[in-house]
Structure formats: structure tokens, C-alpha cells
Structure 1
């Protein structure tokens, strides 16, 4: 039971606050991730379908999802870096999420906020392409039934 053992260890060594270490950074990372992704995809969809006048092909959904994944990753990687550091073994070096941001900027510069961007893009971009393509394809098939119109 690695999860239970890890949970007990955190409670024993850091207390209940250790369980929530990095929660603010995680919320910022996920909020910006989804916000940027859906904002981009909805604008892409509006453009390629002429405001809904044309249907979106699966290939258009794939490209839209891939571009949305790229946009959201580039936009929120700084939050992901901070989240990872706040939840890592060196988390005690930071007094807060804001302190973590400040220390990274002061000691390592802006480039540090983009650490790991290439492998993350390699995972997120194709995954989001498939997810958005699948969603758009499923919705278009369901719309053929009158109960969904």
C-alpha cells in the first residue's frame, strides 16, 4: 500500500498541512490549463466552422485539440513548475506558492519556468488532439438523434 504508507509518512513528518502542500499551485496550474485550452479551442472552432455554419471534421478537431494543448502548455508551464516544486522533496525551501515563484525567478530566471516543456508538449499535444477530435466526433453523431437537438 504505497499510497497509504506515503500518506501516513506525510502526516507523521509534516502534519495535515503537508497533505495540502502545493494545493494553491495545483489549483493555479489546473485552472489556467483548462481555461487556456478551452478558450483556444472554442476560438479555433468558431474560426474553422465560420461561427457554426460549417461542420467540424475529425481532422479539424484533431488539429484544434493539438493546438489547444500546445497553447495551454506554453501558457501554464510556469504554474506546473511551481506546483512540482511545492510538492517535491525540497518543498520546505519555500514558505508559500508566491515565495516559490519569487525564488525561481530570482535564482534561476524566467527560463526555469519552462523546464520540462518539451516532454510535456510531447505528452499533452497528441493527447488533447485525440480528446477533442473524439469529443467533436461523438457530439456530431449524437446530434443526429432528435433528443439531443
Structure 2
């Protein structure tokens, strides 16, 4: 060990594993996104409903769970899954692809070797830029998802009103938006989405890399010290992936609340106390509306269940990506 590496820092920063190709990043990221979305989606449905509903609809997370189950059954937690499932596959494919390609650009610009890991600020920057790119892919997907997740809630606690449900599925939402608002209608809420993804994905990748490096450093005093992130076992990846998911949400959650509120304003206005002018709120207007519903805590409504699902969902994503990458690396050696 000492013949190859001289310092703990060098051990942590050196990774001789063959880098995944662009096609592999896209494929592995896609599968990772699918795995994570299946784990997290029921939690996400509750989160969006808590973020966007009037306070009298749900008293809290448990009440939202009970009402969703009573009114819609198990399928209610997966309402609108098709669109975000495809979106999650596309988002994570692009995220991992862009993240690794941007790192390559930074290495070239700084003269670093291909096998050397970048500094944490450089990794945060790589993650943030990849998030900016992803935002333009996932914004229409999240718009469709949020509308489908929220529209049924308008009938809770009152007589059934079939006319209140306008959409039969993702294609119905897309068709309606294109017919009534044109292509720009699919990008409602794009500004907060870009802000959320730039900040959130920067913390997502940055936290993952930070925890991995800390685990590698901590192993240097053990009987079997690790050489790099590639040597981490399942427990280490689960911990790092879970921390990445929590970091993403803690860093970007208030922005996500504003984004969800903007994207569902027209759906929530049907049969509610919202005025016609409130159907198209801007960012500043939305912030005022959310604040008026409960002050600063209103920007964190639904955070508990979001953090609860963030750990297992993101652990599943990074586990999937990491082990597929390791398998590919072994195949490249043969």
C-alpha cells in the first residue's frame, strides 16, 4: 500500500478504475433513476399534496396518507407515475453523463490526470452544471406529474364531482397544455426548477463524494484500508447515497415548494377560493402566497416525508449506478 500511495489524501483522490463510457453512463443512470423513482414515488405524491393543498385539507403527513388511501386506495399513491418514471430515467441518465463529462472538461482545463478525482468544490460545480442541464428535461415531466398528483385532492371531504377531474393520464395533460397554452405551457415553473436542480444536484453529487471520501479516510486505520470509492461496500454506498438525497432536499426544498405551487395553481383553483389572477402567479407572488399560508414553516411543509423517502430512494439509485459501473469496469479489463 505504501509503495503505491504516500498520503491519505492521495489514496482518496486516486481511482484507477476504468471510467464508464458515455453510453454506459446513460444506460446505468437510466436504470438507477427507474429504481429510485419506484421507491420514492408514493412519498413524493404525499409531499406534493402537502405542499400545494390548503391547510384545512390535510392536518399533516399521516392525515394525507389516510385520506389518499381512503379515497383512492393503493393506486392513489402511484397516480401519474408513468411520466415521472420516464423523466427519472432521462434525468439520471443525463445527470450522470453530464456530471462525468463536465469533470473531464475541468480536468483538461486544470491539467489533472484522468484517474485523479477533482476537489470537492470542483465536484459541486460539476454537479450544479449537470443539474442545470437536467432541469430543462425534467421540467415538463414534473409539471405533468404534479397536476396529476394534485387534481384528485380537490374532491376530498366533499361530494364526488367527476367533472373536476380533467385528466385521464400524462398524455391527456400534455394534450391539454399544448392546446390551451402551446409549447411554453409545458415549461411553466422552469425558473424555480432550474434553481432547484442547479443547487440540489450540486449538493447531491457533492455530498455523495464527500461521504465516500470520509469513509475511505476512516478506513485507513483498519486492518483492510480502502484505496478509493471503488472499494466501498454496500453499507458505505447506501450511507453515501442516502446522505446525498437528504442533502439535495435540505438545500432545495423551499424552491421545490414554490415550483410545485406554480405548476399546480390552475388545478387547485378549480373549485377553490383562488381567484382567476392567482391561476398564473409569478415567483414573487407565489412566495407571498405561500408565506401567507403559514410563514416560513409553509416553505417546509411535507419536508418530513420527503427526507424519509430521500434516504432509501437515493441509496437505491447510487447502489444501482455504482455496481453497474463496477461490473462494466471488470468487463473492460477482460
Q: 105-114 vs 29-38, which deviates more?
A: 105-114
Residues in 2 aligned to 1:129 and 1:140: alpha-carbon distance in whole angstroms: 16
Whether contact under 8 Å (2:262, 2:281) holds in the other structure is: no
Residues in 2 aligned to 1:56 and 1:123: alpha-carbon distance in whole angstroms: 23
Match of 1:120 in 2: 306
Residues in 2 aligned to 1:96 and 1:105: alpha-carbon distance in whole angstroms: 14
Match of 1:10 in 2: 177
Residues in 2 aligned to 1:146 and 1:12: alpha-carbon distance in whole angstroms: 49
Residues in 2 aligned to 1:2 and 1:139: alpha-carbon distance in whole angstroms: 35
Whether contact under 8 Å (1:69, 1:125) holds in the other structure is: yes
The match for 1:26 among 186, 193, 200 is 193
Distance 1:7 1:108, change over 3 A: same
Distance 1:108 1:16, change over 3 A: farther
Give the TM-score, by structure 1 length.
0.79
Match of 2:317 in 1: 131
Match of 1:53 in 2: 227
The match for 1:38 among 205, 209, 213 is 205
Q: Which runs of 5+ in 2 are unaligned?
A: 1-167, 219-225, 270-276
Count residues in correspondence.
148
Q: CA deviation at 1:147?
A: 4.7
The two structures, once aligned, show a CA RMSD in angstroms of 2.8
Q: CA deviation at 1:145?
A: 4.5
Q: CA deviation at 1:126?
A: 0.2
Distance 1:47 1:100, change over 3 A: same
Residues in 1 aligned to 2:321 and 2:169: alpha-carbon distance in whole angstroms: 35
Larger-Rg structure: 2
Q: Which runs of 5+ in 1 are unaligned?
A: none
Residues in 2 aligned to 1:139 and 1:11: alpha-carbon distance in whole angstroms: 39
Give the TM-score, by structure 2 length.
0.39
